[in-house]
Structure formats: structure tokens, C-alpha cells
Amino acid sequence: MRRKKTETDEPLKDEKQPTEGEKIEIKIDSSESGDEQPADDKTESEKDTSAQEDTTLPKSETKAEEPPESESERYMRLAAEFDNYKKRTAREFGDMIKSSNFRLLKAMIDILDNFERALDGDTESIDLKAYRQGVELIYNQFTDLLKRENVTTIEALGQSFNPNFHEAMLQQQSDEYDEGMVCGELQKGYKIGDKVLRHARVIVSSGAKKTDDEKTTPE
């Protein structure tokens, strides 16, 4: 049996069929699709950026909110810093002195041991010459220690009297040394570098001894 043709089966004569090479333009109503968002709405990243800009203040504005330091506060702060500096340097200097004293005293103990060995010897059968040589060895050991510590003797005999290094104990006539020269040394002086440890105790010359003719003045 043949199916009867209905009106729906017949092609629409009014519709224009696209020809080859022509493009078909399809317009989609955005209101029907529901995918397009309003232009005024912002994306989530833009919202986060704007919120961060609103809550975060520039560093310059944050610093400007801090009250400026007054002159009295600045003075008190500098005074406290200087006081801490003095305490720190004094502590460091004290530690340095203790360390140097420890090293020096340890070296002196070795010399003290040699003196004790010399004193513990048999005095009845002692050889004076050998004993003297032993004492000289101890003396040289001690002077070497002073040299290592930059300790030197102060030159006095034959030098012009200098109150910075010499201490005048008396004054006497001398034919060998001119007036104002050191003609005798009672006790050696020592210095470490340019700093005097002990002044040399000296005798200062008052010049050559005057004869009887020089003592009498012409009339």
C-alpha cells in the first residue's frame, strides 16, 4: 500500500535554499542561551585584586602614621646605645687583659721552676762557677720573656736627663759627663713599646769639679 502524501512531506517552496559558496549566518539570542554575563559583573580574579587593593595600604602611608621621634627620645636612645657600647668595650678589654696575663704568668712559672731547682741544690759541695752559670741561664730566660712581650730597658747612662724616662735621685759633680747628663744609674727603668713601666732612677751631673782658682772670684 502506498502512503499518502501529507502537507508536511512536501518541501517548503517559500524557503530559499542556500547555494554553493554562500555562508549561513546563525544568530543566537543571548537571552535564550543564558551563557553571557552582564557587562557590569566582574570576574572573581578582578574582585580579589580590587579587594586586596582596598585592604592593603602603601608602606609610605603606614610609616607616615607613626609619630616622629622627639629630640628628648632621640637623646635618650643615643645615650643608651653609648652606655651599652662602653660596657661592651670594657668587658672585651678586661677579657683581653685576663688572657694576656694568663699567658705571661704561665711563662713566668717555668722560670720560677728553674729558680727552685737552683735553690734546692746541695750548698755544701756546690761549684760557684757552675752555680753562677746556672743563674745566668735563668736570667737570660727571663730577659728573653720580656723581649717577647716587647719590654725593653730605658737607656740612661750618658743620656741627657729626660723627666719622661728618668727620675733624678741626686746630683753630683762629674769630670766625665757634662752638666745635665746622667752620670750614674741606681735602678734600671723599663718600658713596653712607648709606655713607661718604671722610670730609671739616675744621678744627674752638675758639671766638672771646680778648682780652687775657679772658686775664687777676681776682685
Where exactly are the structural domains of the chain?
Answer: 77-148, 151-213
| Max mean pLDDT range (11-20, 24-33, 42-51, 204-213) | 204-213
Mean pLDDT (the chain, rounded): 76
**189 CB burial (10 A radius; 0-12, 13-18, 19+):** buried
C-alpha–C-alpha distance, residues 108 and 5, integer Å: 136
pLDDT given for residue 166 in this prediction: 96
Residues linked to residue 170 through DSSP beta bridges, in sequence order = 203
- Domain 77-148's class? alpha beta
Which triple of cell numbers denotes residue 54?
582596598
Q: What is the mean pLDDT of residues 166-185?
A: 93
Tens of pLDDT, residues 193-217? 889 999 999 999 998 877 655 555 5
Q: Which of 33-42, 82-91, 96-105 has the highest mean pLDDT?
A: 82-91
pLDDT digits (tens, 9 = 90+) for 34-65: 444 444 454 555 555 555 555 555 555 555 56
Among 49-53, 67-71, 88-92, the range scoring the smallest mean pLDDT is 49-53
| Burial class for 163, CB neighbours closer than 10 Å (0-12, 13-18, 19+) | exposed
Torsion, Cα of 175, 181, 183, 184 (10° steps): 170
- Range 151-213 has CATH code 3.40.190.10: no
77-148 and 151-213 have identical folds: no
Q: Is the pLDDT of residue 178 over 80?
A: yes
